[in-house]
Amino acid sequence: MTRYAMAVDLRRCVGCQTCTAACKQKNATPPGVQWRKVLDIESGEFPDVRRSFLPVACMHCDEPPCAEVCPTTATQKRDDGLVSIDYELCIGCSNCVMACPYEARSIVHEAKFAYGDEPMANEAEMFDPARINVATKCTFCIERIDLAKETGLTPGIDAEVTPACVNSCISGAMVFGDIEDPNSAISKLLDETKSFRQSEELGTGPGVYYIWDKNDEER
């Protein structure tokens, strides 16, 4: 069975925020709302200080806490690994916002645009009134994944059906694909490297993996 996931190679990420910009352009999220962002982290003490970058968004968990607390079943875990929101069922109760340990969800109560009351061209094109007063988050560009089923294209290979953030990454740090396919790029990358998932101890089973080193046998 197909199960989509994302891997982020922290050795490659340069903190350029291009993925954040691509997501915002693609989804026309309002000011102050970022479905994808890059954390800028400093560690150590002078003179041994290290700077690293951590792209974060919805983790599309195997056991999503957001779905457990949703009173209307608006949030669902799909068979292909994506966590979706049905805006028609969502009542904007904020249960999922509070339950998400990754702070990946938000609710906007009125239409807001980047420059005043009038939307820019891409905002006007992408504006969806159904996203007002409901929970929203990164969807892994779910409409592109659904398009793959209709066209036979492959997410993670064909740009038309691959998340915008992955397509935009200038360093090739982000990889997306079917983690159940041993021949997919993401499966091969995870086999060859050491990785971790955020807050794995919570039992959520995040669908985003962070690469930090080669496997010992690959050295």
**Six-digit token pair at 68?**
């457990």
pLDDT of residue 132: 94
Q: pTM, whole model, 2 decimals?
A: 0.92
Averaged pLDDT in 10-residue chunks for the chain of 219 residues:
96 96 93 95 90 96 98 97 98 98 95 84 84 96 96 97 98 98 97 96 97 70
pLDDT of residue 116: 81
Q: Are 186 and 179 contacting, i.e. CB atoms less than 8 angstroms apart? A: yes
Phi-psi map region of 172: left, alpha, beta (phi>0 left; psi -120 to 50 alpha): left
Tell me how crowded residue 197 is: count the other CB atoms within 10 A of its CB: 17
The amino acid occupying position 146 is D
Distance CA 136, CA 134 (A): 6
CATH number where 57 lies: 3.30.70.20
pLDDT of residue 217: 55
Count of structural domains within the chain: 1
Distance CA 39, CA 31 (A): 18
SS3 letters across the chain: CCCEEEEEECCCCCCCCHHHHHHHHHHCCCCCCCCCEEEEEEEEECCEEEEEEEEECCCCCCCCHHHHHCCCCCEEECCCCCEEECCCCCCCCCHHHHHCCCCCCEECCCCCECCECCCCHHHHHHCCHHHCCCEECCCCCHHHHHHHHHHCCCCCCCHHHCCHHHHHCCCCCEEEEECCCCCCHHHHHHHHEEEECCCHHHCCCCCEEEEEEECHHHC
Tell me the residue range of the domain where 194 lies: 4-218
Name which of 111, 123, 106, 119 is nearest 28 in CA terms: 123
Q: Are 100 and 57 contacting, i.e. CB atoms less than 8 angstroms apart? A: no
pLDDT of residue 219: 45
Distance CA 93, CA 116 (A): 28
